[in-house]
Amino acid sequence: MEAEKVIELAGVEKTFRDFWLRPTVKAVDGLDLSVARGEVFGLLGPNGSGKSTTIKMILGLLGPSAGSIRLFGLSPRSIEARKRIGYLPELSYLHPFLTASETLHYYAGLCGLDRTTARSRATQLLEMVGLEEVAGRAVGGFSKGMARRVALASSLIGKPELLVLDEPTSGLDPVSTNEVKTLVKTLARGGMTILMTSHLLADAEDVCGRVMIVNHGKAVAEGRIGEIGSSLNEFFLAKVGEGRDFKVAPFLQ
C-alpha cells in the first residue's frame, strides 16, 4: 500500500513581481514534489536555486503563482494543516525580551496546548536541547548556537507530524551539528516526516532518505541516497555543475 502523502507539489511556479506587477525573478519553475509520511526528505541546491521559496510556499507564507500545493491533502494556509507542522527557519528570529521558557510557552499557546502540557513539554524540550540551566534568561543575550537550540525546541513544542528545517545546522559547531543530526534521525524513527534544506551535503547524506536537487527553480535530479551510486557531493556537482573559477582581477596578480 502506498504511504500517505504529506506534501504534494504539482507544477508549482513562483514569480516575484515589483510594484508595477512586472516579473522580477522566477524563483520556482514547474516544480513537482511529493513527500510520504515518515520520510526524511532533503531539498538541496546552490544559493538562489529556490529552496527557501519552495519551503515558504509549502508553509503557506508565500502563495504560488501557478500549480498546486497540498499539505496533508489540505491547503497550506488552512488552520488544520498548520496544526500539524513545525518550522525552523534559517535564522532563529526570536523575541529578544522573552526568556527561553517563555518563548516555548508562547509557541505552545499558539499551538493551543493547555498549561500543564505546555509546561511539561517546555521542560522536556529545554532539557533535550541542553538549555534547562538558562531557561529563565532572556534569549536576546544568547549566543547564535543557543538561540538556534531554542528555535529548534520551539518548532517541536506542538509535536508536529511534519517538521520543516531550513538549514538546521547553520551557525552550529561540529558537536552541536552532530547532536541535531542525531535528533533528526531519532524523530524520523518515531514516524515524524521531515523536510530539510542544507548546504552541507554530508549532513544531508547522513540524515536524508531521499533528496531532490533544484537549480534555477527547477528539479534537476531526485533519488534515494542509497541509489545515487556515488557520493552525494559528486552527484550534486554532476547535476548542478562545477561552478566557475574566479578570474583574479589583474591588479591583484
Partner 1 sequence: MKALWQIVKLELLANFRSRSFYLLTAAVVLWMTALPAFVKSDGTSEGARQICIHYSLAGAFAMVLMALAGAAAGSLSRERAAKRLQLTAVRPVRFFTIAAGRYLALMLVGTMQIALAGGILTLKSDMDLSRPCDHLLSPVLPSVWEEAEAMYSVYMQDEETPEEVRKMDKREVIRLLAAKAPDHYQTVATNETARWFFPDFVPSGAVKVQLRFTNTYDTREDVCGLFRLGCAEGVVSNITQAVAKVPLAGMIDQVVGERVLEFANQGGGSLMLRPRRDIKLLVEADGFGWNLVRALLELTAILSVAIAFAIFLGAGLSRSVAVFTVVAFLVLALVSPAVVEESDEFASNKYDRIGIRLARVAEKITRPAGSLAPLEKLAGDICVEKSEVAKTILLDFAVYPLVFIFLAALAIPRKQDLA
Partner 2 sequence: MRKFFAIARATALEMACEPLALLLTLSAMALAVLTPVMHYHQFGEASRMARDAGLSALLVFGIAYGVFCTVKSIRREIDSGTIEMALAHSVSRAQFFLAKIAGAAIAYFVFAATVASVSLIVVNGAEIGGRIAKRTGDVAAVFGPSRVFALVAMVGGVAFAAVLNRFCRFRFTLSATVLLLGLSVVGLVPYFDAKLAARFLPVAAELTLPALVFIAASAAFAVRWRENAATTAAGGLFLAAMPLLGNYYLSDVLSKGGSLPLWHPALAVLATLPSIAAFAWLGVSLLEGRDVGGT
Closest separation between CB of residue 73 and partner 2, Å? 42
Rounded CA separation 229/232 (Å): 9
Q: How far is the CB of 173 from partner 2 (least distance, A)?
A: 15
| Range 9-28, binding partner 2 (CB under 8 A) | 19-20
Binding site partner of 91, from partner 1, partner 2, none, Cβ cut-off 5-8 A by kind: partner 1
Which residue among 47, 116, 143, 253 contacts partner 2 (CB under 8 A)? 143
Please report, for residues 32, 62, 115, 195, the alpha-carbon distance to residue 86 in angstroms, rounded to integers and kept in the order given.
22, 16, 19, 10
d(CA 19, CA 32): 29
210/204 Cα distance (integer angstroms): 9
| CA pair distance 92, 78, nearest whole angstrom | 24
Query: For partner 1, which residue of 30, 46, 60, 209 counts as binding (CB under 8 A)?
Result: 60
The Cα 149–Cα 162 span in angstroms is 18
Helices assigned H by DSSP within 24-66:
51-58
The listed partner (partner 1, partner 2, none) that binds 95, CB under 5 to 8 Å by sort, is: partner 1
- Partner whose binding site includes residue 111, from partner 2, partner 1, none (CB under 5 to 8 Å by kind): partner 1
Site for partner 1 contains 91 (CB under 8 A):
yes
Residue from the set 115, 144, 159, 189 that interacts with partner 2 by CB under 8 A? 144
Residue 30 binding target from partner 2, partner 1, none, CB below 5 to 8 Å by type: none
**Whole-angstrom distance, CA of residue 203 vs CA of residue 176:** 12
Closest to partner 2 by CB, 1 or 21: 21
* H-type alpha helices, 158-226: 174-189, 201-207
From partner 1, partner 2, none, which one binds at residue 4 (CB under 5 to 8 Å depending on kind)? none
Measuring CA to CA, how many Å separate 61 from each of 10, 75, 76? 18, 12, 9
Residues in contact with partner 1 by the rule CB under 8 A: 16, 53, 56, 59-63, 77, 79-80, 82-83, 85, 87, 89, 91, 93-95, 97-98, 102, 105-107, 109-114, 154, 158
